[in-house]
Amino acid sequence: MTTPPSDALTFPASDREFLEPHLPPVPSPSPSPSTTTQTHNAEPTLPFTTLTFATSLDSSLALSPGTRTVLSGPQSKAMTHYLRSRHDAILIGVGTAIADDPGLNCRIAGVGGYGADNLEGQPRPIIVDPSARWRITSQAKIVEMVRRGRGRAPWVLIAEGTEVDSEVRGVLEGVGGRFIPVPWGNFPGDCGGNEEGKGEGKGRKEFDWRQVLEYLRREEGVRSIMIEGGAAVINSLLEPRFQGLVSSVIVTIAPTWLGRGGVVVCPPRRVEGGVVVPASRLTGVRWYPFGEDVVLCGRIRVDS
């Protein structure tokens, strides 16, 4: 083990405890059949999927579309990186990739590139970009992380048949990344990012999360995935038809109101028998005060 770089983060064992019941099981390096039965489904068809994000009290992720907004404190930031170390992959929508230029790696001390020599503990970044509109450059932070041995090369999920600019493909493949055409039937023009409400009621195409997640488990061996945003991705996964796909929800709430015009987490409303009912409810809820913030862990209550 080498000395972690100066931007390494620590997340103490005492704080890990409350998260543990809400995280994917730790796979044993050479699982025996008996332990596999105890901790996994016999034949899982879906990854363990954790939906996680930080909001303000008025449910905003950011002050405005494209504005990176620091909401939560340093402890919550370290928590996010710890969560990354516990998942095979992290997924974001293309809107967030464009707006934030994120590194999408894990900076917890002891993880690959942060004290460990290989990429052990580094999640695979996945960008959902059906129409291939992300113009990744060699200056992108995510590319830099790969070059410096501090993160894995990203996968970009595109709709089957979508053409990719050759220069962009060159950049991605040059660092070992891949464009992965996925055979989804329907997809929105913008599934990720800050397209809150865009196209609502205007024949917006549907995104089939089940197909995408099943593909990642089956074809790419992704056992666990952490979904970090943006608002359109989160709101979509909170819709009743996709709720069964989410294994765990971890939300950080910061004690601030951003105000109107923010990028909000607020799923489409739900009407049952002519009556409006809550869009999503959590069960098995735990609240964990964490610095100035609070962390909420739970599971989505799936209606039978």
Selected binder of its own copies within 68, 261, 302, 303 (CB under 8 A): 261
Residue 58 lies near its own copies (rule: CB under 8 A): yes
Residue 278 lies near its own copies (rule: CB under 8 A): yes
- Site size toward its own copies (CB under 8 A) is 43
What x-and-dash track marks residues 159-198 binding its own copies by CB under 8 A?
Answer: --------------------------------------x-
CA angle 139, 220, 122 (to 5 degrees): 50
Residue 257 lies near its own copies (rule: CB under 8 A): yes
Structure tokens at 150: 């501090």
Distance CA(147)–CA(151), nearest Å, equals 8
Distance CA(169)–CA(125), nearest Å, equals 16
Minimal distance, residue 18 CB to its own copies, in Å: 11
CA dihedral of 189, 97, 181, 212, whole degrees rounded to 10: -80
Distance CA(78)–CA(93), nearest Å, equals 22
What x-and-dash track marks residues 1-40 binding its own copies by CB under 8 A?
Answer: ----------------------------------------
Residue reference for tokens 């015009």:
261
Residue 279 lies near its own copies (rule: CB under 8 A): yes
Distance CA(110)–CA(268), nearest Å, equals 41
Give the binding site for its own copies (CB under 8 A). Answer: 55-59, 63-64, 67, 197, 238, 251, 253, 255-262, 264-270, 276-282, 285-289, 292, 294, 296, 298
